[in-house]
Amino acid sequence: MSKGFSEYYTTHKEEVDLSKTAVIIVDMMNDFCKPQGKMPLGEDISDVIAAIKRLTDKARENKIPVIWVKQRYRADKYDKVTEKREGTCYEGTWGAEQIEELPIFPEDYVVYKRRFSGFFQTDLDLVLRDMGAEKVVVGGVVTNICVRETVADAFALNYYVYIPVDCTRATDDRAQAAHMWDFETHYATLTDVDELVEAMGNLKEEGLCRMK
């Protein structure tokens, strides 16, 4: 029997190395993460929020930059994306605000996007290159839309990508499983918060990104 397409790609996992790494968290905003939001995931994601909080807190402790990528549309202007689905995260609204469980710290970076990818027509790539990042850890919501587009673009731009599975959530379990398979076989190394936190303890000063 001949190989399937994805079997030509490796899922070999190397030891996690977080030198020259930045953490990117996508769309942790009220409209997506809260039941009262305009486009909520429709289930309790407190476990994902807790995992992201642990990841970002530990990243800051270890001088790893944290970048929040946030959807934002103009409330009184046209956006092409809203032809396909209801608009969310309009600037100046509660829905566009960061969820209170994950406050943005003064040393963090914020990048706003108007399409699904955190890289498309934003300065995310420039921010990463300025700080000397060669690798990224990508988490957030939702796996099968904005996280996927951001991961694919990070890979296309030659960043090595780590995905902590427990820091992501898709629109349903089937989509989550399918996208994790695609990520592992084509784009990224799958990991979890425990493994990343352990790897942070091995970082040396010369392996850190520039933050000032």
Burial class (CB in 10 A: 0-12, 13-18, 19+), 114: middle
> What is the percentage of the chain residues whose pLDDT exceeds 90?
77
H/E run at residue 150: helix 148-156
Distance CA 133, CA 21 (A): 5
Region 84-95: what's the mean pLDDT?
A: 85
Of the candidates 6, 4, 53, 5, which has an alpha carbon nearest to the alpha carbon of residue 25?
Answer: 53
Q: Name which residue leads in pLDDT, 83 or 115.
A: 115
Q: What residues contact residue 66 under an 8 Å CB cut-off, 6+ apart? A: 22, 23, 25, 56, 59, 60, 105, 107, 108, 109
Domains and CATH numbers, the chain: 17-201 (3.40.50.850)
> What is the percentage of the chain residues whose pLDDT exceeds 70?
93
Structure tokens at 133: 């990042």
Distance CA 16, CA 190 (A): 10
Region 108-135: what's the mean pLDDT?
A: 97
Residue 11 reports pLDDT greater than 90:
no
Q: Name which residue leads in pLDDT, 83 or 148.
A: 148
Residue 79 reports pLDDT greater than 80:
no
Distance CA 143, CA 171 (A): 8
Given a contact cutoff of 8 angstroms between Cβ atoms, the answer to whether 67 and 123 are in contact is: no
Q: What are phi and psi of 2, to 5 degrees?
A: -75, 160
